């Protein structure tokens, strides 16, 4: 997870954390984002833009009934 913060004076910082295992769910993602954001919100300049990026995501288990993304040349 990467957090990007742009302040009112256009200064920008990023903070990132990688986990050694898959995330259990939305509550864990929210807690991780909160941990990354807590130190950067104490700045008195004010935040003008905030971004959170998730990467390396994997499905917990394939669901046969779920829709799937087709490749560019796949046909159904």
Q: What is the pLDDT of residues 9-38, one digit of tens each?
A: 889 999 999 888 888 888 888 899 889 888
In a domain, 8, yes or no: yes
Q: What is the pLDDT of residues 27-70, one digit of tens each?
A: 888 899 889 888 877 777 788 898 989 888 776 666 666 667 77
- Give me the residue label for tokens 């990026």: 53
- Answer yes or no: is pLDDT of 76 > 80: no
CA dist list (Å): 56 to 1, 26, 43, 48: 9, 15, 30, 27
Overall number of domains in the chain: 1
In a domain, 73, yes or no: no
In which domain, by residue range, is 13 found?
2-53
In a domain, 36, yes or no: yes
In a domain, 25, yes or no: yes
Q: What is the pLDDT of residue 57?
A: 76
In a domain, 12, yes or no: yes
Q: What is the pLDDT of residue 6?
A: 92
In a domain, 15, yes or no: yes
């Amino acid at each position: 997870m990467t957090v990007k913060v742009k302040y009112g004076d256009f200064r920008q910082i990023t903070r990132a954390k990688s986990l050694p295992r898959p995330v259990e769910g939305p509550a864990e993602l929210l807690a991780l984002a909160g941990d990354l954001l807590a130190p950067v919100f104490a700045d008195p300049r004010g935040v003008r833009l905030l971004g959170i990026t998730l990467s390396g995501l994997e499905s917990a288990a394939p669901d046969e009934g779920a829709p799937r993304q087709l490749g560019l040349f796949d046909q159904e």
